[in-house]
Amino acid sequence: MDKLMSGIAKFKSSSYEERKELFAELANGQSPEVLFITCADSRIDPNLITQTDPGDLFVIRNAGNIVPPYGKVAGGETASIEFSVVALGVKHIVVCGHTDCGAMKGALNTAALGDLPQVQQWLDHSRAAVEVVRAKHGQATLEDLGSVTEENILLQLQHLRTHPSVVSKLSSGEVDLHGWVYDIKHGTISAYDEEQGKFIPVEERYASSLSRKETLQEIKTA
């Protein structure tokens, strides 16, 4: 707690003062463009790895960056997704997994989670990802953790498409879905490319859109 208390004091005296105008604006509401769904792992900091400001991301975090399929029983993830898409009007939804994910290790060996029944049940939402890897590789062990992590992201993107609020926006082109993997050790991000059917460096995945932005910027400053 000492570290937290000193951090709060530092925030108030430096970071807050440096962005006082931003916080004054945010005090009246939010208008994030991105819903960022990621793992609760303490090593993941969405704003840090994307270098975004407060107010830029609407964040959902849980063990395994999981999106339960839409159902009649309301849950925190379902409510937050609906709110971000309908009320806030986000334009992009990112499901971001990461390397060395403890949740995915658990999904690979749910039998070892006997003392964590709620975690065991929660990871049922990732079971299909493990089965896909087993079907492709003939096995699903810790050696296949990277593949399970990727397949889990694709599975959660499928689950997103079961949410009425999301699928309606997808059909009208108002929302785009993105699947990312963050590499903790190397500080890199890979993004899923549907045309290639695999995860590729994020810079390569969005090269065309970055190029368009640079061209527009050049036109504006010409």
* Residue 203 domain-assigned (yes or no): yes
* Residue 175 domain-assigned (yes or no): yes
Taking the CA atoms of residue 150, residue 152, residue 158 and residue 163 in that order, the dihedral angle to the nearest 10 degrees is: -130
* Residue 22 domain-assigned (yes or no): no
Q: Which helix (H) or strand (E) holds 118?
A: helix 117-122
Residue pLDDT, tens place only, 12-55? 888 999 999 999 999 999 999 999 999 999 999 999 999 999 99
Please indicate, yes or no, whether the overall pTM of this predicted structure exceeds 0.85.
yes
DSSP 3-state of 89: coil
Say how many residues make up the chain. Answer: 222
Q: How confident is the model over 185-199, as a mean pLDDT?
A: 97
* Lookup: tokens for 137: 């590789």
How far apart are the C-alpha atoms of 25 and 29, rounded to whole Å? Answer: 7
Q: How confident is the model over 104-122, as a mean pLDDT?
A: 96
Question: Radius of gyration (Cα) for the chain, nearest Å?
Answer: 19
* Residue 35 domain-assigned (yes or no): yes
* Residue 199 domain-assigned (yes or no): yes
Residue pLDDT, tens place only, 137-175? 999 999 999 999 999 999 999 999 999 999 999 999 999
| Residue 211 buriedness (CB in 10 A; 0-12 / 13-18 / 19+) | exposed
* Lookup: tokens for 126: 């990732």
Q: Is the pLDDT of residue 187 over 50?
A: yes
How many Cα atoms occupy the beta-carbon half-sphere of 216 within 13 Å?
A: 6
pLDDT the model gives residue 20: 93
* Residue 184 domain-assigned (yes or no): yes
pLDDT the model gives residue 23: 93
Domain span at residue 53 reads 31-221
Q: How many CB atoms lie within 10 A of CB 58?
A: 21
Q: How confident is the model over 199-207, as a mean pLDDT?
A: 95
CATH code, 88: 3.40.1050.10
- Which pLDDT band holds residue 216 (cuts at 50, 70, 90)? very low
Which neighbouring-strand residues pair with 182? 98, 189
* Residue 12 domain-assigned (yes or no): no
Q: How many CB atoms lie within 10 A of CB 8?
A: 11
Q: How confident is the model over 60-75, as a mean pLDDT?
A: 91
Q: Is the pLDDT of residue 210 over 90?
A: no
Q: Is the pLDDT of residue 73 over 90?
A: no
Token match 């460096």: residue? 201
- Which pLDDT band holds residue 222 (cuts at 50, 70, 90)? very low
Tally of domains in the chain: 1
* Residue 4 domain-assigned (yes or no): no
Decide the pairing of beta strands 92-98 and 34-39: parallel
pLDDT the model gives residue 211: 54
* Lookup: tokens for 81: 């997704």
Check if the beta carbon of residue 150 is closer than 8 Å to that of residue 97. Answer: yes
